[in-house]
Amino acid sequence: MEPPRTIETAECKAWVDASGPGDLTICSEKGARADSVEFGEALSRLVNRMQAQGLFLNLRSLRMILLTPELGSRVRDWQRKLGLPEAGISEQPEAGGVAKTLTWGTNEVSARAIVLLSDLIGGAAIADNSLANSVVIHELGHVADYFERHRITGFPQPAQWPMNTDWPGIRAFIADVAWSEYAAESVAVLHMSAKDMRDFQANDLAYLEGVNTRSRQLVEAHKAKQISLLSLWNTSITNICNLFANFGRAAAHLPSETDLVSGSMNLAPSGEMACWRPIIEKLCSELNGLRALDYADWPTSHFAGIEEIVESGFQAVGLFPICNGKNFAVAVK
């Protein structure tokens, strides 16, 4: 890793594309409450700790880490530069995004990754805060997962939100998100404090309860003719995608000695939530099974099982997509 350097603009895709392996730039935007040099030192400390524990992440594609006070805006800027929908960062009442990893490239040589990081998280990592450290490591986990996985499966274009009538695409997109979050968080949990872990596990339960309640309320609002089917479906795609992203992280938070049944009961203890237990159990089983294999040993349709579980997630809130060839409809129950 080279010493941190300063560049004038965060929107410097041409510079990133021209950079070489190991040429990592860390920069702070104007107004950022974290110094790029100090963050570079903190990052080196984290990497050294991981390597001392025998964890060596392939960060060959990582070219830039940007500390920004305007994370959502900056993510949208880069999404626009990469030809992606300007979705920004995920936001739910229970949790909001504090970092984003973006990747592009068509092969190992052209593969690029950047991490956009909230300056508050950057500052806390400089202070060696365990929660902030785990966020940074989570993003490094994304960088490594994307690169190593795509070396085997090919380097696709950056994942795009599918059309709202592309049911196979929606399932595949959400399945990819669930795995990506699980893979990244599986690295991050190794460096969380016991308190951080307890807090995350409590929030995992709150997250599911919140999304489940809001999703069911939307269904009832549609039945009462208060919102259109299109509005219900579009919002539900976002909600279920965010939920499965958190399911991926939650699966990594389960203690290694926890069996899937007890783990699902912790996340979905009773009442309306109980219908999620078999979904969580099956998802954890699929994620654990993939993680036990090298990427090179993954089956061709490696996310097929997760895609079926995603469909079950929509059904759990009362949405039953029907796709027959080019015809698409959503039944609401």
DSSP string, 60-99: TTEEEEEEES-HHHHHHHHHHHTT-----S-EETTEE--E
Question: Does this model's pTM top 0.85?
Answer: yes
Round to whole Å and give the CA distance between 88 and 77: 9
What are the residues whose beta carbons fall under 8 Å from the beta carbon of 306, sequence distance 6 or more? 175, 178, 179, 283, 286, 287
Task: Provide the residue ranges of all domains of the chain, joining segments of one domain with +.
Answer: 13-153, 167-332
The pLDDT, as a whole number, for residue 8 is: 44
pLDDT of residue 259: 67
Each residue's pLDDT, cut to its tens digit, for the chain (333 residues) gives 544 444 444 458 888 999 998 899 999 998 899 999 999 999 999 999 999 999 999 999 999 999 999 999 999 999 988 888 887 787 776 667 899 999 999 999 999 999 999 999 999 999 999 999 999 999 999 999 999 999 998 887 766 678 999 999 999 999 999 999 999 999 999 889 999 988 988 888 889 999 999 999 999 999 999 999 999 999 999 999 999 999 999 999 987 766 666 766 777 777 788 889 999 999 999 999 999 999 999 999 999 999 999 999 999 999 999 998 788 999 999
Residue 158 pLDDT = 62
**β 95-96/91-92 pair status:** antiparallel
Q: How far apart are alpha carbons 309 and 212 in whole angstroms? A: 16
pLDDT of 260: 65
Phi, psi of 32 (to 5 degrees): -70, 140
Q: In terms of Cα–Cα distance, which of 314, 204, 215 is closest to 267?
A: 204
CATH architecture of 13-153: 3-Layer(aba) Sandwich (3.40)
Q: Is 95 exposed, middle or buried (0-12, 13-18, 19+ CB in 10 A)?
A: middle
Q: In degrees rounded to 5, what are phi and psi of residue 154?
A: 100, 160
Q: How many beta carbons lie within 10 A of that of residue 214, not counting itself?
A: 16
